[in-house]
């Protein structure tokens, strides 16, 4: 969890305002809390009822459960956090067995969110053992994807979503900066190796340095860059404000955001190949959902200029909603792979796309609340300690603040979790 930026946010809520019209086909794209919440639950429930054959501990489900965690934290009374708890108990909170492989770390994102929410660090024990071994025995091999044991480091860009996002959360639970030191070193190494400083996109891995599209352009895979862009809000959200490496992640985020915006198709979706929209000319919803999530985070946190980026997000959201059927299936998702392909249809769906969509929906939810309450009264209480503190007593003078205790809601501003709380009149003055 975020050590220095963890905050409790108290605000008076009311219904969101409708900002958008009904989408044509698919589900409604209206920007209201009711619609966004209903659609998110519809998509989550459909995917849960139609599981894939992948292990629920692998990277595909790791991304899915990251979205389930975001949805569950928005209203802990709903059953979604229990899905994560049940999976953790069944697996004894132990990840899959490839110690160094980033894909097997990804499930830790959701486990650590629930560990912090439940104030139960035992959920993190298995992941901590894995990372403690890695830190004590770091792999020194090259990042060249053709070399033996190359995947013992983050040699493919997808890995930047799978493992660093877990390391930053383990730091939040432990306060041990070694996890951040390792994350910073390896993330920068992968960026130096795979990131194009000219185009501001990542090559998927070293095999694509010299490959070209049919029109002679570099091959930058949409979902691969979606993985990277989706990792940056998670890292920046939990990284201490005074951490020197913060500037690196923020600069990377802004550069990628600008290139992502330019690569958007007129219909609002992104194509599998980011520099050649004709190869193939097909909408791709997993990358589109990751980009939408990342861009919404930037708008919500004042990192991106709202006037410049909101139209991009509006078009993207309409594109996503068009591709959710009435039952909740999100289609036009490229199957598991490592490059742009045309071998998928409106019927193709995957758990990782749903996870990205849910993260985007919950960021949109934050935007709706902020827009609906521009003059809301709020108090932000910041935890200055290097430990997650889930149960604290805070004394406030309601009369001075002009707030009615009966209408107060308590949130964690880093993830919009509605925190369990009890109000107590300590001095008996009402």
The residues carrying an active-site annotation are 158
Hey, CA dihedral for 305, 24, 270, 263, is it positive or negative?
Answer: negative
Give 79: exposed, middle or buried? Use CB within 10 Å, 0-12, 13-18, 19+: exposed
Contacts 24+ apart (CB under 8 A), 247-253: 248/184, 248/188, 249/187, 250/303, 252/191, 252/195, 253/229, 253/294, 253/298, 253/303
- Its sign, for the CA torsion 417, 423, 427, 429, is positive
Rounded Cα distance, 12 and 2, in Å: 24
**32: number of Cβ within 10 Å:** 18
- The token duo for 49 is 């009822």
Give all strands of the β-sheet with 7-11 in edge-to-edge order. 378-382, 7-11, 409-412, 417-418
Burial of 132 by CB count in 10 Å (0-12 exposed, 13-18 middle, 19+ buried)? middle
Q: How far apart are CA 117 and CA 418, in angstroms?
A: 10
Q: Find the angle CA(379)-CA(382)-CA(383) to the nearest 5 degrees.
A: 145
Write the DSSP string, 324-335.
B-TTS-B-----
Q: Which residues contact 413 (CB under 8 A, 6 or more apart)?
A: 7, 8, 9, 380
How far apart are alpha carbons 218 and 106 in whole angstroms?
A: 28
DSSP string across 107-129: THHHHHHHHHHHT-GGGGHHHHH
**CA–CA distances in Å: residue 410 to residues 9, 36, 372:** 6, 21, 17
Under DSSP, the state recorded for 93 is T
Identify whether the C-beta of residue 366 lies closer than 8 Å to the C-beta of residue 313. Answer: no
């Amino acid at each position: 969890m975020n050590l220095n930026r963890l905050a409790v946010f108290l605000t008076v809520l009311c219904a969101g305002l409708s900002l958008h019209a009904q989408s044509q086909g698919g589900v409604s794209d209206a920007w209201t809390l009711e619609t966004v919440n209903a659609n998110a639950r519809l998509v989550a429930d459909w995917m849960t009822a139609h599981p894939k054959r992948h292990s629920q501990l692998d990277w595909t489900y790791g991304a899915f459960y990251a979205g389930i965690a975001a949805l569950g934290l928005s209203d802990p009374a709903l059953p979604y956090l229990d899905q994560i708890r049940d999976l953790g108990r069944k697996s004894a909170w132990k990840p899959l067995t490839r110690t160094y492989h980033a894909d097997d770390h990804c499930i830790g994102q959701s486990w650590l969110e629930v560990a912090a929410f439940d104030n139960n660090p035992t959920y993190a024990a298995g992941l901590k053992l894995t990372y403690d071994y890695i830190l004590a025995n770091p792999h020194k091999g090259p990042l060249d994807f053709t070399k033996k044991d190359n995947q013992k480091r983050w040699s493919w860009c997808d890995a930047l979503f799978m493992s660093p996002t877990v390391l930053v959360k383990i730091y939040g639970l432990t306060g041990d900066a070694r996890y951040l030191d390792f994350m910073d070193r390896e993330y920068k190494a992968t960026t130096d190796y795979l990131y194009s400083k000219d185009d501001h996109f990542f090559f998927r891995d070293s095999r694509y340095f010299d490959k070209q599209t049919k029109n002679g352009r570099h091959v930058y895979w949409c979902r691969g860059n979606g993985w990277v862009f989706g990792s940056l809000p998670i890292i920046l959200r939990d990284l201490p404000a005074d951490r020197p490496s913060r500037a690196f992640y923020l600069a990377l985020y802004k550069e990628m955001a600008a290139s992502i915006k330019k690569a958007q198709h007129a219909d609002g979706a992104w194509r599998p190949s980011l520099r050649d929209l004709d190869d193939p000319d097909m909408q791709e919803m997993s990358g589109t959902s990751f980009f939408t999530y990342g861009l919404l985070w930037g708008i919500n946190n004042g990192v991106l200029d709202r006037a410049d980026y909101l139209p991009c997000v509006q078009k993207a959201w309409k594109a996503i909603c068009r591709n959710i059927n009435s039952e909740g299936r999100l289609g036009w998702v490229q199957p598991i792979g490592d490059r742009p392909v045309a071998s998928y249809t409106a019927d193709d769906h995957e758990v990782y796309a749903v996870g990205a969509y849910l993260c985007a929906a919950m960021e949109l939810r934050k935007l709706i609340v902020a827009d609906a309450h521009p003059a809301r009264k709020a108090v932000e209480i910041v935890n200055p300690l290097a430990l997650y503190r889930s149960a604290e007593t805070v004394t406030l003078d309601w009369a001075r603040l002009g707030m009615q205790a009966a209408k107060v809601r308590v949130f964690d501003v880093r993830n919009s979790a509605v925190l369990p709380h009890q109000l107590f009149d300590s001095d008996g003055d009402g």
